[in-house]
Each structure stands twice: as C-alpha cells, then as structure tokens.
Amino acid sequence: MSEPTATPVVEMRHINKTFGPVKALQNVDFRLMPGEVLGLVGDNSAGKSTLMKVMTGAYQRDSGEVRVDGQSTHFKSPQDSRDIGIEMIYQDFALCGNMDIGQNIFLGRWPKRGLFIDRKRMYAEAEAVLKRLKVDVNSVFQKVESLSGGRQQSVAIARTISFDPKVIVLDEPTANLSAMATERLLETMLELKRQGVAQVIISHRLNDIFEVGDRVMVLKRGENVGERLIKDTDEHEVLQLIVQGNMETAPEG
C-alpha cells in the first residue's frame, strides 16, 4: 500500500515526555489525516491522554515536533491549539449544570450587541449548531443539569463545534453512557466525519472504534506498538497488540 498523498492535518514526530523518572511517551510518531477517525487505544498507563495533551498544548513535550497542515508549530496552551482548530473534550464535559444549553455552548464568549449579550442571536446560533449535529433537544433553554449523560455529551460536542474545529479529540466519550446514548454519539461522530472533521477517539471499547473508525493506533508503556487500518484488522489482533505489543506497524493508507 502506497504512502498517503494528502498532508496530515496533525503530525507528531519523535515525541518524548517524562514526569520525573516516568517515561510517559517514548519517541512516539502520530499522524491524523483530514476527515479521518482514529482510535487511540492501550491500557491505563499507555500514554494515550498524555499524547493528546501534548498535541493540544495542555502538556509541553520534552522533545519532538508537532506539525499542523504540514507546518511545524508549538502550542504553549490549549488556547493556542484551539486558535488553530484543535479541540479536546474530556470525560467531565466542562459544562455548567445551572446554565441552559445555549449559555453553555457560548460560555465565556457570548455574542453581544453593544455592551449587552445578544440573546436572540446566541440561542439561534445554538439551535443551528445542534441542527448541524442532528441533535434533538426539547429546547436550547433547558438547563444542562436536567439532561442525561448522553445529551450532556452532545452539548459538549456542540460547544466544541461552535469553534469550527478541524480536529476533535474525545477522551473515553462512551464510558458512562447507556447503549442508546452511545449509539447517538457514534452517529454524531459519523456526521462530523461526513463534514470533514478529523477525530481521535480514546476508548477501551473496541467495538465503538470499529463502528466509526478508519484506523487504530496502539500505545503500550508510552510507545507506539502498532497501527492498523480498521478494514484490515479485527478486535482480536488489536487486543493482542494491547496486551503483548508488536513493533510491526501496518502500511499507511
């Protein structure tokens, strides 16, 4: 299989990160293609979240290079990565339960008319974002604390989409969701994929990754031990990589 001709939307080369004596990441290479859904898997100490936090500027790498659209860059904070179109959604969603859906989507950056919040515009734009994601809620005036976990996840994604990102990282997005809410979330991910948004899903649920993913990357003790195209592998092989490790990676495609 030949090398991909498209430029990766994000590429990391030879990334190293230590925390005291612990080598969290060891010479890790990573790439994400435009519109691709990549499953990032491994055990609890594999370095998955650390790698994504390096990519989004939450952690500073010890060495290595990060490139966005082919250009070398350095993020000093998550705001820097947000400015360039990279967003990460954590498990806690970072929502304010006592505020409504519209307020949460535009939290801290409410549209204004003069000195005052333009509430009409805010709620209209909130409805437009939810419609783009094909998320059905009773009302954008509904308090977030009254929503199910799945609906709160949708609001968190809608808030992220309102920044018009090119990349979204979802950290264990289905860990606490019901089967129905998980299915809705995976449908949302597929819709984002159709719209050309590249996504990374960190998950222990391999069936979710095989449902929506294009490629899977396995980390073990901070090292990249294998990559496979979803169409060329199965859950058994990926589990073997997670447990045993394998330095042979699949051809890129």
- 101-115 pLDDT per residue, tens: 999 999 888 888 888
Domain count, the chain: 2
- For 158-195, b where at least 16 C-beta lie within 10 A, e where not — what string? bbbbbeebbbbbbbbbbeebeeebbebbbebbeebbee
| Residue tagged 């009254």 (tokens) | 146
For the segment 10-28, what is each residue's pLDDT rounded down to a tens digit? 999 999 999 999 999 999 9
Is a pLDDT exceeding 50 seen at residue 118?
Answer: yes
Tell me, yes or no, whether 153 and 178 share the same domain: no
The answer to whether residues 4 and 68 belong to one domain is: yes
Span 142-180, pLDDT tens digits: 999 998 888 888 899 998 988 889 999 999 888 878 888
The pLDDT assigned to 41 comes to 97
Q: Is the pLDDT of residue 97 over 50?
A: yes
User: Residues 6 or more apart from 24 whose CB is under 8 A from it?
Assistant: 17, 18, 47, 50, 222
Q: Note the pLDDT of residue 1.
A: 37
Whether residues 131 and 233 share a domain: the answer is no
pLDDT one-digit tens code per residue, 185-203: 899 999 999 999 999 999 9
Q: State the pLDDT at residue 5.
A: 61
The last residue of one of the domains, among 164, 190, 209, is 164
Q: Does 1 share its domain with 15?
A: yes
Same domain, 143 and 182: no
- Same domain (yes/no): 170, 160: no
Give the end of a domain, one of 135, 164, 193.
164
Q: State whether 65 and 122 are in the same domain.
A: no
Indicate if the pLDDT at residue 247 is higher than 50. no
Q: Phi/psi of residue 52, each to 5°?
A: -70, -30
pLDDT on residue 178: 83
pLDDT tens digit sequence for 28-72: 999 999 999 999 999 988 999 999 999 999 999 999 999 999 999
Instruction: Let me know whether 128 and 247 are in one domain.
Output: no
Q: Which of 134, 164, 194 is the last residue of a domain?
A: 164
Q: How many residues does the chain have?
A: 253
DSSP state letter for 234? -
What pLDDT, on the 0 to 100 scale, is given for residue 115?
Answer: 87
CATH number of the CATH domain containing 192: 3.40.50.300
pTM: 0.85
Phi, psi of 82 (to 5 degrees): -65, -40
Q: Which residue has the higher pLDDT, 14 or 132?
A: 14
- The closest of 152, 203, 158 to 37, measured between CA atoms, is 203
Are residues 43 and 144 both part of a single domain?
no
The answer to whether residue 140 scores a pLDDT higher than 50 is yes
The range of the structural domain enclosing residue 119 comes to 93-164
